[in-house]
Structure 1
Amino acid sequence: MRPGGEFSIMSACPSHARRWRSQLSAVKSANLCWGHRYMWLRIHQLPPRHQPESHILLRFSIPPSLTVAHCRAMLTSLTRRHEALRTTFHADGGPRQRVHAPGPWPIVQASVERDGTPSPAEVVEDLTGRPFDLAAEWPIRACVITSGGAPKQVVVVFNHLAVDMWTLERIEQELWAQAQGIASRRPASLPPVRHQPADLARWEASAEAAALAAEALAYWEKQVALLPADPFATRRTPMPPQEARHATLTSPSLLDAGRRIATRHKVWPSAVHLAAHTALLAAYTGQGAVGQLAFAGNRGSHAYQDVLTCMFSPMLMRVDCSDDPPFSELVRRVAAESEQAARHAYVPYDEVVELVSREGSRRGVPVRLGSEVNFLNQRTLVYKGRRTTFTWNRAPEAWSHYGADTYMRIDEWRDAVVLALQAASSIMDAAAVEAFLRGHEALVLAHDDPSTDLRVSEVAALAGFTPPSASPYATGPATEVSPEAVGALVRAVSEVHGLGRVDPSDSYVLAGGRVLRAPEVLARLREHGWAGLTPRALAEPTPLATLAGLLAPVRPAEPLLPTHQKLGV
Structure 2
Amino acid sequence: MSSGPERQIAFSAGKSGTAPATWGQQAIWDAVRKLGPDAPRYNVTMEFPVPPGRLVARFLGAVGQLLHLHDSLHTRLLPEEDGGLTQVLDADGTLPVVVRTCPEEDIVREGRALMAELGGLPFDCARQWPLRIGLLERDGDLRYLALSFSHTAVDGWGLRRVVADLWELTDGADPATIRELRPAVQPLEEAGYQASVRGQRQDAAARRYWANKLRSGPRQLFPVRQELPATTKFPNAVLNSPALAQALEEVAEARRTSSATVLLAAVSAMACRVSGSPDSMLQVVVNNRFLPGLAHAVSTVALEGLFHLPDVGDDFADLVRRAQATLLSTYRNAYYDKRLLDAHLADLVAQEGSIADRSCVFNDRRDLMPRQPGEEVARVPLKEALAKTTLSWPIEFDPRPHTTFAMDALNVPGSLELAMTADSRLLPRPAMERFLFGIEDLVVTEALTLNGLT
* TM-score, normalised via structure 2 length: 0.84
Q: 1:171 is matched by which residue type in structure 2? A: V
The 1:26/1:301 distance shift into structure 2, 3 A limit, reads closer
Q: 1:332 is matched by which residue type in structure 2? A: R
Q: Which moved more, 1:144-153 or 1:269-278?
A: 144-153
The equivalent position to 2:67 in structure 1, one of 79, 83, 106, is 79
Q: 1:228 is matched by which residue type in structure 2? A: P
Where does residue 255 of structure 2 map in the other structure? 265
Q: 1:271 is matched by which residue type in structure 2? A: T
| Percent identity of equivalent pairs | 24
Is residue 423 of structure 1 aligned with residue 422 of structure 2?
Answer: yes
The equivalent position to 2:44 in structure 1, one of 56, 79, 87, is 56
Where does residue 129 of structure 1 map in the other structure? 120
Where does residue 33 of structure 1 map in the other structure? 22
2-side partners of 1:235 and 1:336: how far apart? 33
Where does residue 392 of structure 1 map in the other structure? 393
Asked if structure 2 preserves the Cα contact closer than 8 Å seen for 1:174 and 1:190, the reply is: yes
Q: For residue 205 of structure 1, report the CA deviation from its aligned partner.
A: 0.6
Q: For residue 189 of structure 1, report the CA deviation from its aligned partner.
A: 4.0
2-side partners of 1:445 and 1:194: how far apart? 39
The 1:360/1:233 distance shift into structure 2, 3 A limit, reads farther
1-side partners of 2:111 and 2:248: how far apart? 40
The 1:234/1:133 distance shift into structure 2, 3 A limit, reads same
Where does residue 437 of structure 2 map in the other structure? 438
Is residue 201 of structure 1 aligned with residue 202 of structure 2?
Answer: no
Where does residue 180 of structure 1 map in the other structure? 171
Q: 1:421 is matched by which residue type in structure 2? A: M
1-side partners of 2:253 and 2:377: how far apart? 24
Where does residue 513 of structure 1 map in the other structure? none
Cα deviation per residue 1:192-215 (whole Å; 9 max; x = unaligned)?
Answer: 566421111011111111111112
1-side partners of 2:346 and 2:218: how far apart? 14
The 1:279/1:72 distance shift into structure 2, 3 A limit, reads same
Where does residue 308 of structure 1 map in the other structure? 298
Where does residue 381 of structure 2 map in the other structure? none
Where does residue 9 of structure 1 map in the other structure? none
Asked if structure 1 preserves the Cα contact closer than 8 Å seen for 2:4 and 2:101, the reply is: no
Where does residue 486 of structure 1 map in the other structure? none
Is residue 256 of structure 1 aligned with residue 257 of structure 2?
Answer: no
The 1:259/1:307 distance shift into structure 2, 3 A limit, reads closer
Asked if structure 1 preserves the Cα contact closer than 8 Å seen for 2:65 and 2:175, the reply is: no
Q: Which moved more, 1:199-208 or 1:144-153?
A: 144-153
Q: How many residues align?
A: 427
Q: For residue 27 of structure 1, report the CA deviation from its aligned partner.
A: 4.3
Asked if structure 2 preserves the Cα contact closer than 8 Å seen for 1:79 and 1:102, the reply is: no
Q: For residue 55 of structure 1, report the CA deviation from its aligned partner.
A: 1.6
2-side partners of 1:65 and 1:246: how far apart? 39
| Runs of at least 5 residues in structure 2 that lack an aligned partner in the other structure | 379-384
2-side partners of 1:67 and 1:449: how far apart? 49
Counterpart secondary structure, 1:447:
helix
The 1:67/1:412 distance shift into structure 2, 3 A limit, reads closer
2-side partners of 1:107 and 1:161: how far apart? 20
The 1:264/1:235 distance shift into structure 2, 3 A limit, reads farther
The 1:37/1:188 distance shift into structure 2, 3 A limit, reads closer
Where does residue 338 of structure 1 map in the other structure? 327
- CA RMSD after TM alignment: 3.1
1-side partners of 2:45 and 2:65: how far apart? 19
Where does residue 409 of structure 2 map in the other structure? 410
Q: For residue 169 of structure 1, report the CA deviation from its aligned partner.
A: 2.2
| Runs of at least 5 residues in structure 1 that lack an aligned partner in the other structure | 7-15, 453-569
Asked if structure 2 preserves the Cα contact closer than 8 Å seen for 1:227 and 1:289, the reply is: yes
Q: For residue 66 of structure 1, report the CA deviation from its aligned partner.
A: 4.9
Larger radius of gyration, structure 1 or 2?
1
The 1:395/1:77 distance shift into structure 2, 3 A limit, reads same
1-side partners of 2:449 and 2:55: how far apart? 57
Where does residue 68 of structure 1 map in the other structure? 56
Q: 1:126 is matched by which residue type in structure 2? A: E
Where does residue 297 of structure 1 map in the other structure? 287
Q: For residue 253 of structure 1, report the CA deviation from its aligned partner.
A: 1.5
Is residue 90 of structure 1 aligned with residue 90 of structure 2?
Answer: no
1-side partners of 2:48 and 2:431: how far apart? 40
Q: 1:46 is matched by which residue type in structure 2? A: L
2-side partners of 1:187 and 1:217: how far apart? 39
1-side partners of 2:28 and 2:260: how far apart? 24
Q: For residue 390 of structure 1, report the CA deviation from its aligned partner.
A: 0.9
Asked if structure 1 preserves the Cα contact closer than 8 Å seen for 2:407 and 2:418, the reply is: yes
List aligned pairs for 1:107-126, cutoff 5 A: 107-113=97-103, 119-126=110-117
Counterpart secondary structure, 1:134:
coil
Counterpart secondary structure, 1:133:
coil
The 1:331/1:90 distance shift into structure 2, 3 A limit, reads same
Asked if structure 1 preserves the Cα contact closer than 8 Å seen for 2:6 and 2:96, the reply is: yes
Cα deviation per residue 1:8-58 (whole Å; 9 max; x = unaligned)?
Answer: xxxxxxxx9xxx9xx9x994221121222332232123232x222212223
Q: For residue 443 of structure 1, report the CA deviation from its aligned partner.
A: 2.0
List aligned pairs for 1:166-565, cutoff 5 A: 166-181=157-172, 189-192=177-180, 195-233=185-223, 235=225, 237-240=227-230, 243-303=233-293, 305-321=295-311, 324-365=313-354, 367-377=356-366, 379-380=371-372, 381=375, 387-397=388-398, 400-413=399-412, 415-450=414-449
The 1:277/1:242 distance shift into structure 2, 3 A limit, reads same
Counterpart secondary structure, 1:88:
strand
Q: 2:123 is matched by which residue type in structure 1? A: F
Asked if structure 2 preserves the Cα contact closer than 8 Å seen for 1:411 and 1:419, the reply is: yes
Q: For residue 71 of structure 1, report the CA deviation from its aligned partner.
A: 2.4
* TM-score, normalised via structure 1 length: 0.68
Counterpart secondary structure, 2:88:
strand
2-side partners of 1:288 and 1:241: how far apart? 30
